[in-house]
Structure formats: C-alpha cells, structure tokens
Amino acid sequence: MKSFLLLILLVAITTTGYSQSTQPYLSLAEAKRIADAAEAKAIENEWTVVIAILDAGGHLILLRKIDGTQIGSVEVAMEKAKSAVYFKRSTKVFEDAVNEGGLRLLSLPNAIPVEGGVPIFRDGHCIGAIGISGVRSDQDGIIAEAGLSVLELK
Amino acid sequence: MKSFLLLILLVAITTTGYSQSTQPYLSLAEAKRIADAAEAKAIENEWTVVIAILDAGGHLILLRKIDGTQIGSVEVAMEKAKSAVYFKRSTKVFEDAVNEGGLRLLSLPNAIPVEGGVPIFRDGHCIGAIGISGVRSDQDGIIAEAGLSVLELK
Amino acid sequence: MKSFLLLILLVAITTTGYSQSTQPYLSLAEAKRIADAAEAKAIENEWTVVIAILDAGGHLILLRKIDGTQIGSVEVAMEKAKSAVYFKRSTKVFEDAVNEGGLRLLSLPNAIPVEGGVPIFRDGHCIGAIGISGVRSDQDGIIAEAGLSVLELK
Amino acid sequence: MKSFLLLILLVAITTTGYSQSTQPYLSLAEAKRIADAAEAKAIENEWTVVIAILDAGGHLILLRKIDGTQIGSVEVAMEKAKSAVYFKRSTKVFEDAVNEGGLRLLSLPNAIPVEGGVPIFRDGHCIGAIGISGVRSDQDGIIAEAGLSVLELK
C-alpha cells in the first residue's frame, strides 16, 4: 500500500511537472464555434463584418468575411486580434487610454487602439484572440463578446 | 406607338447598361461549401493544411487552419491563392514554367510557383481563388480541386 | 478501495484530457542552456556568429551576437530559425531541395534555403527553433546542433 | 639616431591616427552583465519583460524574453532600444514631450515615445542602448536603469 501511494505521488509530481511546461491551445473546432456565434450576432443585427481568430502566436486559425463588408476590415480585424494576443488585453483598453490622453500608445508597434480585439484565456494562459471589424467599434466589440460567450457555456 | 418604341429603347439601354456593369462574385456561403469539401478531403487523408479563399480583389473571404498545421502555411496558402487570382491561372502553371527553366518568374511580384493555388471562374470572370498549403504541393493541389468540385455540382 | 481506484482512473483521464489540449513550450532557462552550448562551440572554433532562439509562434526568446559578427547575420539567424519553426523542418532540407533543382522554393514566403535553422521538438510538438548565422552554412549547422545537444542530455 | 627619430615619428602618427579613428563599443560580455542585472530586478519584482540590447548601429547584441511575457513586448523592447540609440536619448524624453503636447513626434520615424529605452554612453560616444517592455512603462524604466547600473560599478 505504501508503494502504491508512492506511485500515485510520483504520477502526481510527473503530471504537475508536465503541465507546468505545457500550455493549452485553441483548436479549429473551438474557433468555428466562436465564429458561428459571432456571425449569428452580426447577421441578427444586419452588420457586415470580418471575423478573425488567431492562435497564441498571433497566427490565423480562422477568418470569415460577411458578404459586402468593406475590404479594409480584413486587415483591421486581423490587426485587432493580433494586438489583443500580443498584449494580452482587449484593444478597448488601448482605445480608452488614448481617449484619456495616452497618445504615446499611437506609436506602439502592433497596438491598435480601437475596440473589437479581445484575447482568449484558458487556465491563465492567453491562447489566442478574436478580432472584429466592419461596423462601429463598440458594435464590433459586441460581436466579439457574442463570439466568446460560447466558451463560457462549456 | 411612339411611346411604346421609346419604352423598348429605354428597357434595352437599361438592360444592356446593367449587364455591362456587373460581374459575378464569390459569396461567403459558397466559400464555406468549398472549404468544407477541402477540409473533408484533408481529414480523409490525415493531411494538415491551411485553406484560404480570396475574392476577385485578392482579399480574404475565408481561412481555416487545421490543428497541427505548420504555421508557415498560413501565409503560403494566402500567397498561393493571391497568385492565382492576380494572374488568373493556377500556380501549377508557374511551377511547371520554373521547372522547365523559366527562372525569371522567381522575381515576378505575387507569383508563387508552387502548386496549390487555383483561380475560380464564373461566366468568364475570375471571381476569386483557393490556396492550400501544408503537405506536398501536389497533395495541396488535390485538396484545392476537391474544394472546387462542389461548384461544379451546382 | 474500489472508489480509490476510480479516483485514480478519473485523475488519469482528466490528466490525459488536459494534456491533449495543451502543448509543451520552450523556457528561457532552456534557451540559455542551448545558447551556452552553441556559443561554446563557436568560441572553440573561433567562429563569430549570431545565435537566435524562437518560440513555437516564431517569436524571439533569446538572441546573442558574438563580438565581431557581421551585422547582416542578426536578421539571417532570426530568419533561419523562423523558417525552421514555420515549416517544422531544418533549413538544410530547403537548401538541399534547391541544390537539387527545386528552385520554386526560392519564392516560398519565410522559407530560407540555407543551413543553420533547426526546429526543436518535444513530445511530437514543434516548440521552437534555433538559427545560427555568421560563418559557412555547414559550420552554422554544426553550431546549431551543438546547441541542441544539451536537450538530449536531459 | 636618425632611425630612432623616424621610429618616434611613426609611432606618433600611428598612435594619433589610431585614436582618432576608433570608438568604444559594447561587447557581448558587457551586454550579458547588463541583462543579468535587469533580469534579476525583474524577477525580484515578479515582472515579466523582454530585455533587448543593441549596438551603436541599432543592431541586436542580446535579447531575453522572460517566460510568460506578452509577445508584443519583443518588438516593443527592440523598438524602444532602437529609438534610444537612433536619437541618443532616453525614450522617456519623447514620452514627456508627447505628454506635453508635442504630438508631431508621433510621426517621427523610429521615435517611440514610451519610457523603457535608454542609450548607453562611453567616453562621449553612444555605444548602444537597452530596451525593456512588459510591465508599466515606468517599471520598464526601472529595470532598464537596474541593468545599466552594472556599468557604473566598473
């Protein structure tokens, strides 16, 4: 019995050690569920937007452009999501800071001070981000949140 | 009688004028169907790839990255599709030309001489392209064709 | 006792489930050990090089430029490592392919066909890469391997 | 005697000529000592940052990214250091100027108006710079100063 408990202890240590040197990631299946919810919200409001979802390294996992969306939004959506994952915070934080006079942020590489980019966290790790562009930035933000709401239901 | 002829003339002008100034386009709904077919083919073969679908202006409509695909394929898939829509021809045409000694093509802006980028035509118009990257370039080409096959079923 | 075994089973399942949605990563401590070994090898041969180590997303974790190294090697070392992590293979694979006539690879975004970039794998995941530049590309490759040899000693 | 005078003349010319055409530089060994001190300060405060050290030409000598630091800080740290070496002044000078209404600085190439980039001088020459990014910009500045403090101890 003693050796049995020891074994459990060893497994526990190994497991902990492993999980310390690993980190969760965002799958394509999850990205699709997020995008479906975001797209449904956009269509419900008759808003034309681009939905971009990136991984923890800032690389695209999924992108969708609703018919009729301005083409400039393709890059803006990707840049908003990149900003969110690069700085582990919503782009609204940068937008608010700039609005309150923090103009120096306008020169920060990869920091987009426009609402609509939101990081995705799991177990304390930033595993990616969603970026929305196409309508007013607060509306973009509503779509982003609608997308991420599916993760909370799990 | 006079007014009747005038009406016909007006209809003729309007119709001709209208049909001369429109062109078909690729919708997000169609892009999803293409991507679904491409993704199914990739999964069937256990191939990890990025699927990129662009519009007639070379802008992203849809992108999906299957879990585990090398991140370099995100840009390569987009560039292959861009090459196909920018030059209205399959990237395989460029690959074959380079293999046969057409090295000057290596310097051509936006021309990627690697199979996997295929333009999409409708009524004689190039309405977009699909780009696949992740496995061998001939396998990328098979997935691209599998994706586009759904358009022929319509 | 039965419930005890059940608990263990549950823990095991949970653990496995967790590890499936997580992936290992390269720490700064490991990057330093790799760089120390690479730097020692370079100094032993009186070779001046830049050592660049990236994470799984292609972002710098560590860089060192030995005094006197040509400044062009800073970017080349980073690009070699980026190529290795973006395509999950050694840049020597691309170099060999180009040497054997695969000239189309010269146009592939982020693919550097010069030896000296080597990906780092753990548990089947590409967790980063090392890139060396400064001397002959086969010598760069020797330094890269010397750096990665410390991981095998663990 | 003649040859003796000639020797003195030669030595004088060589010496003068030599000292006129040299400038001090920052070695990798020094960069490591600076980075060690900066990293120790960051760890002491449990701050996650990127440490970037550049030479007089604005090229990387050393970079370290503490585990868990937002990836956006890799480029920001490099850009802060670049700004400091390109303009031979602390980025805090630019930050203060922008805060006092000097908005024109936001368009100045390579000038980052955010504290954390500090130039390194020796014998009146700017021999490089350190850039820190990851926490609040005044905290980044504290780490930068902690790093450079080791040079004053010499």
Higher-confidence residue of C14 and B121: namely: B121
Closest-CA residue of chain A to B39 = A28
Higher-confidence residue of C153 and D110: namely: D110
- The confidence score (pLDDT) of residue A16 equals 37
Query: Looking at A7-11, B25-29, B130-134, D108-112, which range is the least confident one?
Result: A7-11
Give CA–CA dist D23/D130, Å, rounded.
19
Give CA–CA dist A98/A93, Å, rounded.
9
Subunit contact C87:B75, Cβ cutoff 8 A: no
pLDDT tens digits, one per residue of C14-41: 333 334 467 899 999 999 999 999 999 9
Subunit contact D28:C71, Cβ cutoff 8 A: no
Mean pLDDT of A41-50: 98
The amino acid at residue A12 is: A
With bands split at pLDDT 50, 70 and 90, how would you rate the model's confidence at C10? very low
- The confidence score (pLDDT) of residue A15 equals 39
- The confidence score (pLDDT) of residue C22 equals 79
Give CA–CA dist A43/A134, Å, rounded.
12
Higher-confidence residue of D12 and B142: namely: B142
Chain A CB contacts of D97 below 8 Å: none
Q: Which residue, C65, C8, C121, is CA-closest to A12?
A: C8
With bands split at pLDDT 50, 70 and 90, how would you rate the model's confidence at B40? very high
- The confidence score (pLDDT) of residue C13 equals 38
Higher-confidence residue of C2 and B147: namely: B147
> A110 CB near a chain C CB, below 8 Å?
no
Chain A CB contacts of D103 below 8 Å: 103
How far does the CA of residue D93 sit from the closest CA of chain A (Å)?
A: 12
> C24 CB near a chain D CB, below 8 Å?
no
Of A15, A24, A56, the CB nearest to C21: A24
- The confidence score (pLDDT) of residue A152 equals 66
Subunit contact A22:C23, Cβ cutoff 8 A: yes
Q: For chain C, give the percent of residues with pLDDT over 70.
A: 84
With bands split at pLDDT 50, 70 and 90, how would you rate the model's confidence at C65? very high
Subunit contact C22:A24, Cβ cutoff 8 A: yes
D touches which chains (3+ CB pairs under 8 A)? A, C
Q: Which residue, A127, A134, A129, is CA-closest to A145?
A: A129
Question: Which H helix or E strand runs over C73?
Answer: helix C72-87
Q: Does residue B62 register a pLDDT over 80?
A: yes
The whole-angstrom distance between residue D33's C-alpha and the CA centroid of its chain comes to: 13
How far does the CA of residue A132 sit from the closest CA of chain B (Å)?
A: 14
Q: For chain A, give the percent of residues with pLDDT over 90.
A: 81
Low-confidence ranges of chain D (pLDDT < 70): 1-20, 152-154
Mean pLDDT of C115-142: 97
- The confidence score (pLDDT) of residue C23 equals 81
> B140 CB near a chain C CB, below 8 Å?
no
- The confidence score (pLDDT) of residue A154 equals 46
For residue C114, give the 3-state DSSP assignment: coil
- The confidence score (pLDDT) of residue B135 equals 98
How far does the CA of residue B60 sit from the closest CA of chain A (Å)?
A: 7
Higher-confidence residue of A85 and A124: namely: A85
pLDDT tens digits, one per residue of A17-32: 334 467 899 999 999 9
Give CA–CA dist B34/B153, Å, rounded.
11
- The confidence score (pLDDT) of residue C11 equals 41
Helices (H), chain B: 2-20, 28-44, 72-87, 91-99, 137-152
What DSSP letter does each residue of C13-30 carry, written as one string? HHHHHHHHTEEE---HHH
Q: How far is residue A152 from each of residues A53, A81, A148, C128, measured CA to CA in Å?
A: 17, 19, 7, 31
Subunit contact C23:A18, Cβ cutoff 8 A: no
- The confidence score (pLDDT) of residue C5 equals 46
In chain C the domains, ranked by start, together with CATH numbers, are 24-148 (3.30.450.150)
With bands split at pLDDT 50, 70 and 90, how would you rate the model's confidence at A84? very high
| Share in percent of chain D as helix, strand, coil (round to 5) | 55, 20, 30
For D44-140, where are the E strands, in sequence order? 50-55, 60-65, 117-122, 125-133
Average pLDDT score over chain B: 91
Q: Which residues of C19-35 are buried (b: 16+ CB within 10 A; e: fewer)?
A: bebbbbbbbbebbbbbb
